[in-house]
Amino acid sequence: MHLQSKCGRSVLYGLLCAHLCCLLVMTQGCASMTKGDRANEGLAAAAGQFNNALRWNDAQGAAAWIPQALRGDYWTQMDAMQKKIRLMEYEIRDIVNDEATGSGTVIVHCKYYKMDNPTVKDVMLRQTWLFDEKAKSWKVVKTDVETLLTDK
56-60, 97-101, 145-149 — which one is most confidently predicted on average?
Answer: 56-60
User: pTM score, two decimals?
Assistant: 0.74
The pLDDT tens digits for 125-151 are 999 999 999 989 999 999 999 999 887
Note the pLDDT of residue 19.
47
Phi first, then psi: give them for residue 101, nearest 5 degrees. Answer: -100, -10
Note the pLDDT of residue 28.
44
Note the pLDDT of residue 38.
55
CB atoms near residue 12 (< 10 Å):
10
pLDDT bin (cut points 50, 70, 90) of residue 37 is low
Note the pLDDT of residue 39.
60
Please determine, for residue 25, whether its predicted confidence score (pLDDT) is greater than 50: no
pLDDT bin (cut points 50, 70, 90) of residue 27 is very low
Helix (H) / strand (E) containing 113:
strand 103-114
Note the pLDDT of residue 23.
43
Q: Is 102 exposed, middle or buried (0-12, 13-18, 19+ CB in 10 A)?
A: middle
CB atoms near residue 139 (< 10 Å):
19
Note the pLDDT of residue 151.
73
The whole-number average pLDDT for the span 29-41 is 52
Note the pLDDT of residue 40.
74
The whole-number average pLDDT for the span 49-75 is 96
Calculate the average pLDDT of the chain: 83
89 CB contacts (<8 Å, ≥6 apart)? Answer: 55, 110, 111
Q: Are 56 and 130 in contact (CB under 8 A)?
A: no
